[in-house]
């Protein structure tokens, strides 16, 4: 399989820039920069050879392409290559560290990027010097609760700051370092004179996400940068600032009130008018959430909001997750009804517009089509889509893929639950079935390519995947139904789906399994603790003990926010919501999968399940992946270990359910 991402429309609308990702013969991911004609007439072409070229960006005049070149042995380098092809040259080499969020200024003379330096004792040179002297690895000395992030690793007290590169002089300067977490986002003003930055400068930013602000940063010569706060904004989390084309307004996503961006409440789209000093929420009446990610194992889920101004400033476009689809939507910049420009049945990851606004690049995927680069023609209310890459077409021609069937199931209290089922094309009569529960929980399953689902169908199982209460994509009330109450309304919905599977004439009711990862692992644990009707289970990177997890996850639980009480104040609610508290009567055979490098759901969560099942004499198998892996191993872990995981899963189902 070939992956694509970072779709960027050229200013003239004639070509699309993107990143191509493949697995090489050395069991590593290679990324390179490619371009495709927007009309799809010619085959896509490589602009770089990789192996670690990321974040491709057109220059404002479309003549050059900048990108970041990564190398484990060298610091990150910002490179540029002619758009027509040729040799890439280095603009600047940063110290050892990490680069993210890289963009040209509209004038083309500067670039902005986020950079976090490695600690002095964590560089390759420091490691080599320690090895020569026979010294141990250095300890981490921690002064803040924010010192690690799953998939990013440990960074201690180091933070991302905003840097600006002068392209002509090849010099860099740090222009903003006030964000206490280093999770800021930013955008250039249309004249290139300033940047809008969404950041949290509060001393206890981890505990006070609602203290986020917007800043205007005006880079100056010799470090004389002017930083000013934007007054008059509602209190609440803020991200993804986007300057209007006329420079008079700034759009951003967030929420008015307390609490973090990720949670049960909707994330809305706002516009702030600088002259009037007025902020308007444009999506309040829509019940949409701009952070409704569709989960898959074929790419990173897009939890971050995707927001783009239409080039003439009349509308703001965004991705909306709704009923399992990822839709391109828009709203008038001065307020009005939300319009949807793509139909249901697919996932869209938005790229950028052409300068005239008539073409929009995106990556589009469906349950039977891995993501490919598409161009959306912005001529009608519903955009026409043209596929301009077909890297996976030859592979797909060899496969017999299952199509999902939409279903709506009614829970005990009358609530309707959307789910899908995928049945092997060649299946006849009653066959075993597997119920998959997604992670989050505040995300959605939906109509994107999911390799694991297709693999299970190919093994002879019918696969069902629902969006129970707590999921995004069905309005705030649906998501908030499990606020501080996991294992209640969500479990009622899962029970209803399981009951529908047992009634289905095509399924063997005595051969139904359940599985899931992260929160899906939580619900799998909860299910076997409350229902002996499942033949077997697979719990992957699970949550089992809410009390212990509150203190060992990279996202620390805030007492009294999502949950009543807290782990060290009043743990009763957390303990009652913990599956392990109800394990005494578990008899379901379980496969336990966990990564020792998982910083989101610590491996001790899986260890507790394993210990309990061994004590109870319940058949189980514990597969632990090494520290080099993370919570997202199933979608971005080492390729050989991803294959190993899938083989363990299929062998487990064959052992307990046959095929």
pLDDT tens, residue by residue, 475-504: 999 999 999 999 999 999 999 999 999 999
Query: What spatial distance separates the first Cα and last Cα of the chain, rounded to whole Å?
Result: 26
Residue 650 has a pLDDT of: 98
Does 221 have pLDDT greater than 80? no
CA angle 53, 56, 60 (to 5 degrees): 150
Q: Where in the chain is the domain with CATH 3.40.50.1820?
A: 404-657
Q: What percent of the chain has pLDDT over 70?
A: 100
Residues in CB range of 504: below 8 A, 6 or more apart: 433
Distance between CA atoms of residues 529 and 580, nearest Å: 8
CA dihedral (269, 274, 276, 281) in degrees, to 10, reads: 0
Stretch 632-640: mean pLDDT, rounded? 95
Distance between CA atoms of residues 333 and 201, nearest Å: 29
CATH 3.40.1440.10 for domain 404-657: no
Q: Where in the chain is the domain with CATH 2.120.10.30?
A: 94-135+154-274
Does 659 have pLDDT greater than 70? no
The class level of CATH for 94-135+154-274 reads mainly beta
Q: In this structure, what token pair is assigned to residue 130? A: 């320690």
pLDDT in tens, 521-561: 999 999 999 999 999 999 999 999 999 999 999 988 778 78
Dmax over CA atoms of the chain, in Å, equals 75
Could you tell me which of 408, 189, 198, 230 has the C-alpha nearest to residue 304?
Answer: 198
pLDDT in tens, 567-582: 989 999 999 999 999 9
Phi and psi at 141, nearest 5°, equal -110, 110
């Amino acid at each position: 399989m070939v992956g694509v991402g970072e779709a960027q429309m050229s200013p003239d609308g004639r070509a699309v820039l993107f990143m191509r990702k493949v697995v090489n013969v050395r069991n590593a991911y290679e990324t390179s920069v490619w371009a495709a004609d927007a009309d799809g007439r010619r085959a896509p072409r490589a602009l770089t050879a990789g192996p670690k070229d990321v974040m491709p960006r057109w220059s404002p005049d479309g003549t050059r392409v900048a990108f970041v070149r990564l190398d484990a042995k060298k610091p990150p380098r910002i490179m540029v290559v002619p758009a027509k092809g040729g040799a890439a040259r280095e603009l600047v080499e940063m110290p050892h560290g990490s680069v993210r969020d890289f963009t040209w200024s509209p004038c083309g003379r500067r670039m902005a990027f986020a950079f976090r330096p490695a600690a002095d004792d964590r560089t390759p040179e420091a490691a080599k010097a320690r090895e020569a002297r026979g010294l141990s690895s250095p300890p981490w000395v921690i002064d803040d609760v924010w010192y690690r992030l799953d998939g990013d690793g440990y960074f201690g007290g180091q933070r991302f700051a905003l840097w600006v590169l002068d392209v002509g002089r090849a010099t860099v300067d740090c222009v903003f370092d006030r964000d206490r977490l280093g999770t800021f986002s930013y955008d250039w003003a249309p004249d290139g004179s300033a940047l809008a930055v969404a950041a949290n400068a509060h001393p206890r930013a981890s505990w006070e996400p609602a203290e986020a602000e917007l800043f205007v940063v005006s880079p100056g010569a010799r470090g004389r940068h002017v930083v000013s706060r934007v007054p008059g904004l509602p209190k609440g989390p803020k991200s993804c600032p986007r300057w209007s084309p006329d420079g008079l307004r700034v759009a951003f996503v967030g929420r008015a009130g307390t609490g973090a961006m990720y949670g049960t409440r909707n994330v809305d789209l706002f516009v702030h008018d600088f002259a009037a000093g007025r902020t308007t929420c444009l999506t309040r009446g829509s019940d949409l959430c701009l952070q409704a990610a569709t989960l898959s194992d074929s790419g990173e889920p897009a939890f971050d909001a995707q927001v783009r101004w239409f080039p003439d400033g009349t509308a703001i476009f965004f991705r909306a997750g709704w009923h399992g689809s990822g839709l391109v939507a828009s709203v008038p910049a001065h307020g009005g009804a939300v319009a949807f420009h793509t139909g249901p049945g697919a996932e869209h990851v938005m790229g950028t517009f052409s300068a005239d606004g008539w073409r929009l690049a995106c990556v589009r995927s469906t349950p039977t089509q891995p993501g490919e680069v598409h161009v959306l023609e912005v001529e009608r209310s519903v955009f026409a889509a043209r596929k301009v890459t077909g890297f996976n077409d030859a592979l797909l021609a060899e496969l017999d893929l299952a199509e999902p069937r939409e279903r709506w199931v009614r829970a005990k209290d009358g609530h309707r639950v959307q789910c899908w089922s995928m049945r092997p094309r060649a299946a006849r009569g009653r066959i075993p079935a597997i119920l998959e529960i997604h992670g989050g929980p505040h995300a959605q399953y939906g109509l994107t390519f999911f390799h694991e689902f297709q693999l299970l169908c190919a093994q002879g199982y019918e696969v069902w995947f629902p969006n129970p209460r707590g999921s995004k994509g069905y309005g705030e009330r649906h998501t908030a139904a499990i606020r501080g109450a996991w294992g209640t309304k969500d479990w009622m919905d899962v029970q209803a789906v399981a009951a529908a599977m047992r009634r289905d004439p095509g399924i063997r009711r005595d051969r139904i399994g359940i599985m899931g990862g992260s929160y899906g692992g939580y619900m799998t644990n909860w299910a076997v603790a409350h229902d002996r009707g499942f033949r077997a289970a697979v719990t992957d990177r699970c949550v089992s003990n809410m009390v212990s997890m509150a203190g060992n996850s990279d996202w620390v639980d805030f007492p009294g926010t999502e949950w009543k009480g807290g782990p060290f104040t009043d743990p009763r609610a957390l303990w009652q919501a913990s599956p392990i508290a109800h394990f005494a009567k578990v008899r379901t055979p379980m496969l336990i999968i966990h990564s020792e490098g998982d910083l989101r759901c610590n491996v001790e969560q899986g260890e507790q399940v394993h210990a309990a099942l061994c004590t109870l004499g319940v058949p189980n198998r514990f597969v632990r992946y090494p520290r080099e892996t993370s919570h997202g191993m199933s979608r971005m872990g080492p390729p050989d270990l991803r294959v190993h995981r899938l083989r363990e899963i299929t062998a487990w189902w064959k052992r307990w359910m046959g095929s």
